[in-house]
Structure 1
Amino acid sequence: MSGTSILNVRGDSEYVSSLTPYEPLLCHAFIATFVCCASGVIAGVKPAALFNFRPEAACCAWQGSRLRAKTCELFRLFTKEISAHGVSLMTVGTCHGRMALVAYRPELIDELLQDSDICAFLDNAGYPTTSSRQLMRAFRLRLARYYQAKTLKTYVSEDVVNGASAVTPSVEFPHEMGVVFGYPLEDVLGFIHKQPHTCRGAWCAYGNAELARQRFERLAQSEGACLRRFRSGSSLVELLAS
Structure 2
Amino acid sequence: MPIEEKVVYYAAPTLAGCKVANLINLTKTICCQEDLDECRRRLCGAGIDLKILRENASSCLLYIYRRSALEELLHTKQSRQFLSSYGYQDFTIPGALDQLADHFKNPALFPHEVGLFLGYPFNDVVGYITHQGKNAKLIGYWKVYDNEEAAKETFCLYNHCRKELCARFHQGEALADLSALG
SS in 2 for 1:172: coil
Mapped partners of 1:236, 1:80: distance in 2: 10
- The correspondence for 2:34, drawn from 70, 73, 76, is 73
Matched, 1:178 2:115: yes
Of 36, 52, 55, the match for 1:94: 55
Contact 2:4 2:39 in 1 (8 A): no
Provide Cα deviations, 1:202-223, integer angstroms capped at 9, x if missing partner: 1110012222212222222223
Q: Give me the whole-angstrom Cα distance separating, in 2, the residues matched to 1:129 and 1:219.
A: 30
Alignment RMSD: 2.1
Segments of 5+ residues of structure 1 without an aligned counterpart are 1-27, 59-67, 150-170
2:113 is paired with a residue whose SS is helix
Query: How many pairs does the alignment contain?
Result: 179
Q: 1:109 to 1:230 in 2, by over 3 A?
A: same
Could you state the TM-score of these two structures normalised by the residue count of structure 2? 0.87
- Percent identity for Structure 1 against Structure 2: 26
- Aligned to 1:37, the other structure's residue is in SS state helix
Counterpart secondary structure, 1:217: helix
The answer to whether 1:212 aligns with 2:173 is no
The structure number with the bigger radius of gyration is 1
Deviation at 1:96, TM superposition (A): 6.0
Q: Which has the higher helix share?
A: 1
Going from structure 1 to structure 2, the CA distance change for 1:206 and 1:235 (only over 3 Å counts) comes to same
> Helix, strand or coil: the match of 2:51?
strand
How far apart, in 2, do the equivalents of 1:53 and 1:200 lie? 23
CA drift of 1:31 comes to 0.9
Distance 1:78 1:218, change over 3 A: closer
Q: Where in structure 2 are there 5+ consecutive unaligned residues?
A: none
Matched, 1:190 2:127: yes
Q: In 2, distance between residues paired with 1:214 and 1:73?
A: 37
Question: Quick check: 1:128 aligned with 2:101?
Answer: no
User: What is the CA-CA distance between 1:95 and the residue it aligns to?
Assistant: 4.1
If each structure's strand is expressed as a fraction of its own residues, which one has the higher value? 2
1:121, CA displacement in angstroms? 0.7
Per the alignment, residue 24 of structure 2 pairs with: 51
Greater relative contact order (Cα < 8 A, sep 6+): 2
